[in-house]
Amino acid sequence: MNPNTPLLLCGMSLLSIFPTFASDTAKDTLNLQELVVTAPLKTNPDLIPLNVTQITSEQIDKSGESSLLPVLVSKVPGLFVTERGFAGYGVSGGSAGEVNIRGVGQGNKVLFMIDGQPQWAGVFGHSLADTYVANGIEKVEVVKGPSSLLYGSNAMGGSINLVTHSQNKDGLTGRARAMFGSFSTQKFALSSGYKKGKFSATLSGQLDRSNGNRERSAFWLANEFAQVKYAVSKNWSLAGMVDMTQSYAQNPGTLQDPLENMWTDIFRGSGGVYVKNTYDICDGGIQGYINWGRHNVDDGNAPGTTPKDYLFHSTDYNMGFTAYESLYLWNANILSAGIDFQHWGGHIWNTDKADSSVRSSEAWHHVNEVAGYVMMQQGFVHDILNVNAGVRLQHGSTYGNIWVPQAGIIIKPGYNSQIKASFSKGFRAPNIRELYLYPPANADLKPEYMLNYEISYRQHLLNYKLMLGAAIFYIDGKNMIQTVRVDGRPKNVNTGKFHNKGFELEASYLILDNLQAGASWSYLHTDSDNLYSPKNKFNAEVTYSPGNFAFTLEEMSIWSMKNGNPSGATESYSLLNLRAAYTFSSKVPVTLSIKVDNITNNHYEIIYGCPMPGTTLMGGVEFKF
């Protein structure tokens, strides 16, 4: 092959997205000594100046959780998720599953993605907590701080990328798991993968059901995932995936304002295809995706009152494409360029319960967004110092243009240490509800945004057995959308602001080959009235694996969290959880497991008026082949 062919092909890929820019640093796999990191679609997180936490498939498996959100809370300093009970997060009034990173998150300010595809409802803009399941997930990469340079709106406070499992071993592999426990809870999961030559495929399914810890809080969920990949050559590959979730959740309301007949019935789907290229001097690709959903809701009624005579319905979509290319033109330099396009919106209406053909309150709306971005990183002094800078220009059909800058440095004073310092901007565009629906709507709203300043330090000692980490941050939020009274009527306006500052400390120590301990503490000071943002959050974990046994003891403490109590009192609590497993050595490994949560049977309410369960027990069996 002509030696200039890779450069020509990279140039053609770059010209196809000219004149704007995207980002994909380094290579898809980079050995970071602790583990092998498979990058998200657009960037390798170790090569950007932001604070990143990665959760591996081993950690997900050991947790025994079928939902990813409890795993995030226990593994990521500074991250917190709301819960209203034992199972199911729901949508609509009284829903839970809101994710806050460093006190930023309310109103969908943390972007969830599956392999880089944005996952949120196109009408109301909210995240879809019940769809973020462990089924088919290889790892989770959490960026704490604005990710809007790469992903645009909704990544204002951070981003969480769910990286799906790929079959890398020739032949057929699989696993099956069943768990049973408190509140008649049942959880089943089945997955399989196949690889032959250039072709690979994975298929998995999950089914959960529970009566919940309160009357009228039943929940069930089914999830199906499929992915196929084909290596056209050593430089080009194709892939496609589809992920679907069906869920039903009842909501009993709060103890102070109980509800009857309140339920949500949801179907969500996500699909995508991509083409990727990988050469010594460049890599990149083009990805197309769609996320869609159907929601049916009964808003319920207070006990003893007449049930509502209507049902609420919505359908929504979020579709688009991204094209990106990274060039490695000279030593220690990475130049990344690309373009994004996104089209999102949906339809809402009510139907009469007595006659479903009677519709009311119908509305259709959509929004278009297009963006270009560029990011460059340059290393100096034998890669001891790396300087990173980038900018994004995004145009929205409802709000016009917005610039998103980011800059930072990465310093490696020693082989086992790293310092990151960064400035970044994040933003969230107003959603359709805020723009057009219901009395407070205001079509002239502008995006919310925040400026983030951060320094982090990470040190490895004792031949990588000991890790110490620390981070400090300051966040300046502006243009927050709030509902105020204008001329005697409620109206959404860009009037709010906030200032968050704090620090995070973490450490882990491999005491013996089969004994490991870790802990983290995050502190947040804010001048806002944000709910569900703990002032202090402490996590500790000890893992011991003698022979075929495996034990994990976890502790989490929350201090001074506003949970909606009208008196203004804050919530503080501590939880102690135990995981234990035994694997039978055989041709087909069989693992028996048990997990006990809230061993000390503490009473606590994350959302005011929604008591969380006391001690809960789950046991299960898993087969691998």
List helix spans (H) across 489-622.
none
Q: Is the bond into 19 cis (omega within 30 degrees of 0)?
A: yes
Q: Mean of the pLDDT values across residues 11-17? A: 41
- In this predicted structure, the answer to whether residue 375 has a pLDDT above a threshold of 50 is yes
268 class by beta-carbon count within 10 Å (0-12 exposed, 13-18 middle, 19+ buried): buried
pLDDT value for 230: 95
Buried b (16+ CB within 10 A) or exposed e, 69-91: bbbbbbbbbbbbbbbbbbbbbbb
Higher pLDDT residue, 306 or 48?
A: 306
Give percent of the chain with pLDDT exceeding 90: 82
What does the block give as tokens for 496? 């709010």
Please give the Cα distance from 501 to 453 (Å, whole number). 9
Within 13 Å of residue 69, how many CA atoms lie on the same side as its CB?
22
Strands 260-278 and 282-301: antiparallel
Helix (H, G, I), strand (E, B) or coil at 149: helix
What are the DSSP E strand ranges found in 513-598? Answer: 515-526, 536-544, 549-562, 570-584, 590-597
- CA R_g for the chain: 24
For the chain, the straight-line distance linking the first and the last C-alpha, in angstroms and rounded, comes to 42
- In this predicted structure, the answer to whether residue 584 has a pLDDT above a threshold of 90 is yes
The CA angle 180-182-184, to the nearest 5 degrees, is: 65
598 close to 616: Cβ distance less than 8 angstroms = yes
Q: Which amino acid is at 55?
A: I
pLDDT value for 10: 54
Which of 121-135, 236-250, 260-274, 610-624 bottoms out in mean pLDDT, i.e. has the lowest? Answer: 121-135
181 close to 87: Cβ distance less than 8 angstroms = no
Q: Mean of the pLDDT values across residues 249-265? A: 95
- In this predicted structure, the answer to whether residue 12 has a pLDDT above a threshold of 60 is no
Higher pLDDT residue, 49 or 568?
A: 568
| Predicted confidence (pLDDT) per residue in 32-87, tens digit | 333 322 333 566 666 678 888 999 988 998 888 999 999 999 999 999 999 999 98
pTM score: 0.91
pLDDT value for 32: 31
pLDDT value for 169: 87
Name the pLDDT band for 253 (thresholds 50, 70, 90).
very high
Please give the Cα distance from 310 to 302 (Å, whole number). 15
Q: How far is CA 335 from the centre of its chain?
A: 27
pLDDT value for 329: 86
Q: Closest by alpha carbon to 51, among 471, 576, 549?
A: 471
- In this predicted structure, the answer to whether residue 4 has a pLDDT above a threshold of 50 is no
Q: Closest by alpha carbon to 351, among 313, 317, 316?
A: 313
- In this predicted structure, the answer to whether residue 5 has a pLDDT above a threshold of 50 is no
pLDDT value for 593: 97
Q: Is the bond into 6 cis (omega within 30 degrees of 0)?
A: no
| Predicted confidence (pLDDT) per residue in 97-111, tens digit | 999 999 998 878 999
Buried b (16+ CB within 10 A) or exposed e, 589-618: eebebbbbbbeeeeebbbbbbbbbbeebeb
| Predicted confidence (pLDDT) per residue in 448-475, tens digit | 999 999 999 999 999 999 999 999 999 9
Write down the CATH superfamily of domain 5-624: TonB-dependent receptor, beta-barrel domain (2.40.170.20)
What are the DSSP E strand ranges found in 429-465? Answer: 448-461
pLDDT value for 23: 34
What does the block give as tokens for 621? 């069996």
pLDDT value for 404: 97
Please give the Cα distance from 224 to 562 (Å, whole number). 36
Please give the Cα distance from 127 to 346 (Å, whole number). 15
Please give the Cα distance from 224 to 63 (Å, whole number). 21
pLDDT value for 25: 35
Place of tokens 């309150």: 361
Name the pLDDT band for 382 (thresholds 50, 70, 90).
confident
Helix (H, G, I), strand (E, B) or coil at 355: coil
What does the block give as tokens for 327? 């060039």
pLDDT value for 90: 86
Which of 20-29, 327-336, 609-618 bottoms out in mean pLDDT, i.e. has the lowest? Answer: 20-29
Q: Mean of the pLDDT values across residues 194-220? A: 96
